[in-house]
Amino acid sequence: MRGVSGHVYLDWNATAPLRPEARAAMIAAMDVVGNPSSVHAEGRAARAIVERARAQVAAALGADGADIVFTSGATEAAALALQGRGLACAGVEHDAVSAWCEVSLAVDASGAVIVPDPAASAVQIANPETGVVQALPEGLAVSDLTQGFGKLPLAFNWLGCAMGLVSAHKLGGPKGVGALVLRQGLDVAAQLRGGGQEMGRRAGTENVIGIAGFGAAAEAAARDLADGVWENVAEIRNILEQALASAENSTIIVGKGAARLPNTSCLVTPGWKGETQVMQMDLAGFAVSAGSACSSGKVRPSRVLRAMGLDEAAATSALRVSIGPGVGRDDVLRFAAVWAAQARRWRARAT
């Protein structure tokens, strides 16, 4: 899979490439002139696009009967879900969640979160840095489903949580649109007030074009899951990890023994700074990251890895490789060869 710069794109957890189905839906929506809150024919046409997308997202997420509240992304959905609730979370949560919670839940060495009181807790379904997948407890208040949606077979109605957070661009939809998923009968206090859109929970004219793309991407993502596409991705990820392990035996693959996303490898080579590795790989033609995209450029130990018990040296030495359906065996083997050569150069300088 090539990025616009010609790089081999290995940073799917930061954002997935736009799906052709999403692009087509967005282009079609651009020709619909009406405001979805208007009652005339043009407005009804725009409303139909929004409601079709709402149904597509609900079906793909296994959330039939739940309320889908469209937002500007999972960050806004987190604020809408978590404001004023005083929930507990762990240090492995995304900043968009931990900003609203008391960071007090323990994490074991495998990345599993210990949840004594699910009804008062927020727990992610999968970690964006390590790929570690959580076994969500029954009765959970909120779960960030962003990284799992489109990569794991999920059924919101069976997860046992009251609210979920999702984002379009992580599964091949456009950036700048997401949703809060509410178990039927629940409500939240609107942060944005005005025209009463989204059932009074999120005012402001709906982003019809972005929402159309989100719906189409969600539907396509569900097809991929049903067709076993991500099982193939897991095979490519395993080939990558085998090649890396044979090349550099001091590198730790975080979460290796735990349930993980099928596409994610978090590599820790203590002492070799993650940001340095990212720059070296970028110059060599590979797009990877040192962790969550929202934290890139901030040279500090990973909160996620520190919460899992890794020391500061290790927590500043992580490289995340996250692949997708467009990445092939040759791509990851070329990456492994280039990375291993850089590792040898780094080790020679360090000794």
Query: Is the distance from CB of 319 to CB of 8 less than 8 angstroms?
Result: no
How far apart, in whole angstroms, are the C-alpha atoms of residue 323 and residue 261?
A: 10
Tokens of 74: 């999972």
How far apart, in whole angstroms, are the C-alpha atoms of residue 115 and residue 351?
A: 43
Q: Are strands 286-287 and 264-268 parallel, antiparallel or unpaired?
A: unpaired
The residues with which 260 forms a beta bridge, in sequence order, are 132
Q: One fold for both 8-16+228-350 and 20-226?
A: no
Q: Which residue shows structure tokens 């960050």?
A: 75
Query: Is the distance from CB of 88 to CB of 105 less than 8 angstroms?
Result: yes
Distances (CA, A) of 156 to 117, 126, 213: 20, 14, 21
Give the per-residue pLDDT at 136.
97
Query: Is the distance from CB of 254 to CB of 130 less than 8 angstroms?
Result: yes
Q: Are strands 178-182 and 67-71 parallel, antiparallel or unpaired?
A: antiparallel
Tokens of 55: 């149904």
Question: Which positions of the chain have pLDDT values less than 70?
Answer: 1-5, 291-299
Query: Is the distance from CB of 204 to CB of 195 less than 8 angstroms?
Result: yes
How far apart, in whole angstroms, are the C-alpha atoms of residue 187 and residue 163?
A: 10
Distances (CA, A) of 45 to 21, 29, 56: 19, 9, 17
Give the per-residue pLDDT at 4.
57
How far apart, in whole angstroms, are the C-alpha atoms of residue 170 and residue 263?
A: 13
> If we measure between CA atoms, which residue out of 207, 86, 80 comes closest to residue 144?
80
How far apart, in whole angstroms, are the C-alpha atoms of residue 212 and residue 55?
A: 11
Examine the residue annotation and report whether 266 is marked as an active-site residue of this protein: no
User: CATH assignment of 8-16+228-350?
Assistant: 3.90.1150.10
Give the per-residue pLDDT at 124.
98
Tokens of 174: 């456009």
How far apart, in whole angstroms, are the C-alpha atoms of residue 166 and residue 187?
A: 17
CATH 3.40.50.150 assigned to domain 20-226? The reply is no
Chain-centroid distance of CA 173 in Å reads 12
CA dihedral angle for residue 193, residue 194, residue 195, residue 198, rounded to 10 degrees: -20
Q: Would you give the end-to-end CA distance of the chain in angstroms?
A: 36
Sheet holding 252-253, edge to edge: 252-253, 264-268, 318-322
Q: How do the domains of the chain map onto residue ranges? A: 8-16+228-350, 20-226
Catalytic residue among 101, 161, 266, 294: 294
Q: Name the DSSP letter for residue 92.
A: T
User: What is the tally of helices (H) and strands (E) in the chain?
Assistant: 11, 11
Give the per-residue pLDDT at 293.
53
How far apart, in whole angstroms, are the C-alpha atoms of residue 165 and residue 81?
A: 8
- pTM of the predicted structure, to 2 decimals: 0.94
Phi, psi dihedral angles at 128 (to 5 degrees)? -70, -25
